[in-house]
Each structure stands twice: as structure tokens, then as C-alpha cells.
Amino acid sequence: MNYQQTLFDVYQKLFNEGHVPDWAVRKKSNPEEFVPPAIPFVGKNYDDLKVLVYASAENLTYYNSYQEYLDNNQFAFIRSKYFFDKKNSFFPYVHIEPVNNGSLVLVTGYILNKLKNIHFSSPIDLADKVAFANFGKFSIETKGKNVDYAKNYSFLEPSIPYVKKDLEILKPNIVIIPKTIYNHKPIKKNL
């Protein structure tokens, strides 16, 4: 299955149907339009392990640096894969900060080592075998300050249709998710 294309198609459909909260970041080039959510990054060998790793929520406080990408729906949806392919760095660069800086990569490697006794030759080797995404698919429109809303279910709720599609399409064997998000009863029940 072409996970990237399938995710792109369903995310685009949900987005076009209006599954976007009013508080989400809008495009700089057209404030009437919202920035689409990024589809998950799916490693080329994802089927080997089928592990889906969630960070908490999208953060677009640095929007101006990426305006040409975020104002273009085609790029905005696929930004995680696009930046992974474009940027050469030690840790995978997928437009999700705890992956970019390595912290979520190290946690994932540790968990998989303890659960499955799996070792990775490099962070990129790990990234090729998992999927990374934000659970919260939208960034709150702010004046330059990151707002992580993982503790507030009402802000996470608009992302649920997208998360359901992540799970339906990727069919992960293991989901690594922030405890703060997992502790919400509706999320725990649905997972």
C-alpha cells in the first residue's frame, strides 16, 4: 500500500469537508484559509514493525520560515515526508520538533529495544521503520508563543477524525503516545 498517498487523500477529504477548528493557524497569504494538517511521516520499511509514534501537537509559531510550504496545500499536507527527504541531518527531520531534536527518536528506540529487543544502526534506520505524527493535528493561532494543548481534550477533539484515519490506514502493532494525551478517557477508550 502507498501509505503516503492514501493518507494524503483521506486528510485532504477531511480537510475539504471542514474538519478544522476555528482556532487553528491560518495561511499568511490568505487569512481566510487554514493551514492543512500534516499527514504522518511513514518510513519506507514501516511494514517491518508497524509502529506509530505520536508527539503531542503541531507547533507553527515559526510559520514565517516555512510560509512558502505552509501556504501551499500540496506541500503542507506532505511536509513531514518532504522535509525528511530534503534535509540531511543526524536525526530525522520530519517537521516535528521532538523528532528533529532526537528526543522522541531516542525514546522510541529505547521502547522498541525493551519491548522487542530491536537495535537500530542509526536514527535514520529507526525512522525508516516507523511512522511519526502529531496527535494534535493543528497549531493554535498565537502571537509567537507555542501552546501545547495536550492536557485539554477540547483542543484535541478536532484531530480525532484524522487520528482514526491514521490508525485505520497504518494498522500499527504498537502506538507510542504521550501519557498526557492517553490519559484522556475518550482517547483511552477509543484506542
What pLDDT, in 10s, does the model give residues 103-123?
999 999 999 999 999 999 999
Residues 6+ apart with CB under 8 A from 94: 41, 80, 81, 83, 84, 100, 127, 132
CB 25 within 8 A of CB 141: yes
Q: In the predicted model, what is the mean pLDDT of residues 43-60?
A: 93
Q: Is the pLDDT of residue 59 over 90?
A: no
**pLDDT of 146 over the 90 cut:** no
Around Cβ 182, how many Cβ atoms within 10 Å?
Answer: 15
Q: How confident is the model at residue 143 (pLDDT cuts 50, 70, 90)?
A: low
* Beta bridge mates, 176: 53
36: nearest Cα among 105, 114, 139: 139
User: Is a pLDDT exceeding 70 seen at residue 33?
Assistant: yes
Instruction: Report the pLDDT averaged over residues 28-41.
Output: 94
In 3D, which of 131, 159, 169, 175 has the Cα closest to residue 9?
Answer: 169
Given a contact cutoff of 8 angstroms between Cβ atoms, the answer to whether 91 and 105 are in contact is: yes
Q: Are 70 and 60 in contact (CB under 8 A)?
A: yes
pLDDT band at 83 (very low <50, low <70, confident <90, very high): confident
Distance (Å, whole) CA 189 – CA 61: 32
Q: In the sheet that 174-176 helps form, which strands lie side by side, from edge to edge?
A: 41-42, 130-136, 51-57, 174-176
CA distance 93 to 34: 23
The per-residue pLDDT for 14 is 98
The pLDDT of residue 142 is: 67
Q: Where are the beta strands (DSSP E) in 33-127?
A: 41-42, 51-57
pTM as predicted: 0.93
What's the whole-number average pLDDT of the chain? 91
Tell me what the mean pLDDT of segment 91-101 comes to.
Answer: 91
Q: Which of 100, 86, 26 is nearest to 60 (CA)?
A: 26
Distance, CA of 75 to CA of 85 (rounded, Å): 13
156 has pLDDT over 70: yes
